[in-house]
Structure 1
Amino acid sequence: MTAEQLLAAPATVLPALRGAVTGLPSYVPGRRSAGADIAALASNESHYEPLPAAITAVAEAAGKMNRYPDMAAVELRERIARHLGVTPNEVAVGPGSVGVLQQIITGLCDAGDEVIFAWRSFEAYPILVELAGARPVRIPLDHLEGHDLSAMAAAVTERTKVILLCTPNNPTGVPISHDRIEAFLRAVRSDILVVIDEAYVEYAEAGSGPDSLALYRQYPNVCILRTFSKAYGLAGLRVGYALAAPAIAEGLRRTALPFAVSALAQKAAVASLDAGEEMAERVAAVKQERVRIAAELEAQGWKLQPSQGNFLWIRADEVLLATLVEAFNVAGIMVRAYQGDGVRITVADPTSNDRVLRLLEAHAA
């Protein structure tokens, strides 16, 4: 082709992404560790290695990686059902609780429908909602860094399809009490799915949050969302689950990406549930460290809300946040900063936690 022909050729028009996609905010993952001296406290991962039984199960399953996993995840759903005292028909699984949440939004929301959630809360909420063509309705947290359930109830319209309640809330760590959620459920329509997102429930002190199973048994529009990524230490395998009325759970299984939960993840999750006592010992150690860190930070002058997750939250304005982020970067401590709001710090091993305490002592008011 001559130069004249090239100039005369029409410009290439590339395929266009949907407007909903180009306008999406990017999900910001916790930063990854880059060396032995880096404390990776940005992603709320378990600082323990996977449970030995899970490692064994993965090693045994690895020899069959040439085969597709069980798409129905029958063994895992049956094991989760026994763990919760429900039937397998009430359980749907997916690649992490965020994957199951995508199945929920896809399964219930048409374009223009509304999903209500607190803000700030889990970053993926608005992304998944907008990706489905629905409208995210953000309700500001109350002055105690928790859910303003009265404002959330008042925000319900005829287009509301799903309400997300994150307890304990990520990133603030504040739980929602049983009584408050029960009163909320009485106030909203029964045709709205109320999702109780309990990604960090294992770290919560008994009675601090809801008895979600009791609420589920009483209110058919309740859906419980949980994960194996946090306390069970399977973040890298991606497996979570929802508990919902059988018809809803069946719909979630239909909207799932085929074979999304690998055979390795399914086997590891079953083995992890079977090793519940060992997992509980690890959780108890994290909770003990959480109490220790919070007490020392409060003694330094930091104002904290009691956290029921495996992390602590420090509210910070732009100036303080920039100062803290720079200090953490210099110290080789990776934390999760939220522009305009604050910083979330994962509770890890005592040595890493002590590094955090020394740094924050130097910046206390």
Structure 2
Amino acid sequence: MTENPVTQDQVQPRPVVARLPKYAAGKPPAPVEGITAYKLSSNEIPFGPLDTVHQAVVEQSSLNRYPDPLSSKLREALSDYLDVPAEDIVTGAGSLGALTQILTTFAGQNEDGIQDEVIYAWRSFEAYPILVQSAGALPVEIPVLEDGRHDLEAMIAAVNENTSVILLCTPNNPTGPILTQAEVDDFLARVPKNVLVVLDEAYIEFVRDEKSVDGVHTYNEHENVVLLRTFSKAHGLANLRVGYSVAHPAITNHLRVMATPFAVSSIAEDAAVASLSQIDRVLERVDSLVQERERVVAALTEQGWKIPQTQANFVWLPLGEKTSEFVEQANAVALSVRGFANEGVRVSIGEVEANDRFIELCKESLHLAQS
């Protein structure tokens, strides 16, 4: 049966909509009788909210009122935590919402019809091409190196008079490696000052490499740098959608014009403030996940897997055309993982039992990586 042809009297979306890749959220695990199922496909942490965070949510009593559009309490708390001016912080619905605000403000199609260009590594966060094209800009994807790292030289070479924004994801999602401070300093020295550089640090709390770029330091040193962070990962508040950007007033003044009003609910704001007030406990839980990450990486390395050096809460298996086969094998043992067709599999670090099962699965599936 063929679909009805589209006629001119039907409502149609913008042509770009048909070209957009579809965002594929991590799927829940399929149930397998007799086995506890685990979701390792969305980079969520396996812990529930801290008691104080839960209490802050429960005590919300103003659901009939709009939230503070500036998230003033959260911005003040972040100002103290990061030692940056509160006016340099703009909140958004997760780092995804904050990035949407950035791209809508600084990238698109200009009045002369020429599209701005946005450069980013690929593969990287799968929302990048969607957000860039939705804003009306042209995506410029630079393939990552064989070890999953950004090819900064190729990214610099791609800069031209139409480049408006460069996205740097560190640690890179889904491959895992960081960018070092030395690399970023050298990169920024060669980027034109009228190009906005976004440091996407969604997984910064999991980084233990001392050479890693320091986002706050870098934004302090460069007027054209924006820092992007979230409460969805380390803080375990993915469902509440709260993130933020940090930049100088010359940038934030424009971002606030384009920011979605009331994007961060009062529930999300109070939960984030409560989580920041217990940051030591948050980081203790992160430490336990980092230890699990190192245990998983060590086990896979001993088995013979060659994987990128991850500093996030996930590992990347570069399985190429064997990707779908590994995903199916994971489903068979009640593990949901995130497969990227013909490229590889990203697996979040989860509960100890889930990680043990993943290690065993990798042992049994090593031939996929070697074939």
Q: Normalising by structure 1, what TM-score?
A: 0.94
Partner amino acid, structure 2, of 1:13: D
Q: How is 1:14-25 mapped onto 2 (pairs within 5 angstroms)?
A: 14-25=10-21
Kindly indicate whether residue 27 of structure 2 is the aligned counterpart of residue 27 of structure 1: no
Instruction: Determine what percentage of the aligned residue pairs are the same residue.
Output: 45
Question: CA–CA distance in 2 between the matches of 1:361 and 1:206?
Answer: 27
Match of 2:340 among 338, 341, 345: 338
Identify the residue that residue 72 of structure 1 maps to in structure 2: 70
Which of 111, 116, 119 lines up with 1:116 in the alignment? 119
User: Partner residue of 2:192?
Assistant: 189
Distance in structure 1 (CA, Å) of the matches to 2:47 and 2:354: 13
CA distance in 1, matches of 2:188, 2:214: 13
Distance in 1 between residues matched to 2:278 and 2:257, nearest whole Å: 30
Aligned runs of 1:318-337 on 2, under 5 Å?
A: 318=321, 320-337=322-339
In the TM superposition, 1:306-317 aligns within 5 A as 306-317=309-320
* Misfit runs of 4+, over 3 Å: 33-36
Contact 1:93/1:253 (CA < 8 Å) preserved in 2?
no
User: How many angstroms apart in 1 are the aligned matches of 2:314 and 2:277?
Assistant: 26
Does the 8 Å contact 1:145/1:172 carry over to 2?
A: yes
Match of 1:212 in 2: 215
Paired residues for 1:1-365 under 5 Å: 13-33=9-29, 37-61=36-60, 63-111=61-109, 112-318=115-321, 320-365=322-367
How far apart are 1:348 and its partner, in Å? 0.8
Any idea what the Cα deviations from partners look like across 1:303-359, whole Å, max 9, x if unmatched?
Answer: 1122100000010121x2122111011111000001121000000111110010111
- The one-letter code sitting in structure 2 at the alignment partner of 1:202 is E
Tell me by how many angstroms 1:33 deviates: 4.4
SS of residue in 2 equivalent to 1:345: strand
Cα distance in 2 for residues equivalent to 1:210 and 1:257:
29
2-side partners of 1:280 and 1:329: how far apart?
Answer: 31
Q: Which residue of 2 aligns with 1:3?
A: none
The one-letter code sitting in structure 2 at the alignment partner of 1:59 is V
3-state SS of 2:198 partner: strand
Q: Is the 8 A contact 1:100 1:252 kept in 2?
A: no
For 1:42 and 1:338, locate their aligned partners in 2 and report how far apart those are by CA, in whole Å: 11
Contact 1:325/1:337 (CA < 8 Å) preserved in 2?
A: yes
2:192, 2:226 → 1: CA distance?
14
| CA deviation map 1:141-198 (0-9, x unaligned) | 0122100101000100101010000000000000000000000000010111100000
CA distance in 2, matches of 1:144, 1:86: 34
Between 208-217 and 304-313, report the one with greater CA deviation: 208-217
User: How far apart in 1 are the matches of 2:30 and 2:366?
Assistant: 28
SS of equivalent to 1:220? coil
TM-score by structure 2 length? 0.93
For residues 69-92 of structure 1, what are the alpha-carbon distances to aligned partners after superposition, in whole Å with 9 as ceiling and x for unaligned? Answer: 111111111111111111111000
Q: How many residues align?
A: 353
- Alpha-carbon separation, structure 2, partners of 1:254 and 1:232: 28
Superposed CA deviations along residues 15-38 of structure 1, whole A, max 9, x for unmatched, are 110011122111111112466822
Contact 1:92 1:250 in 2 (8 A): no
How far apart, CA to CA, are the structure 1 residues paired with 2:225 and 2:294? 31
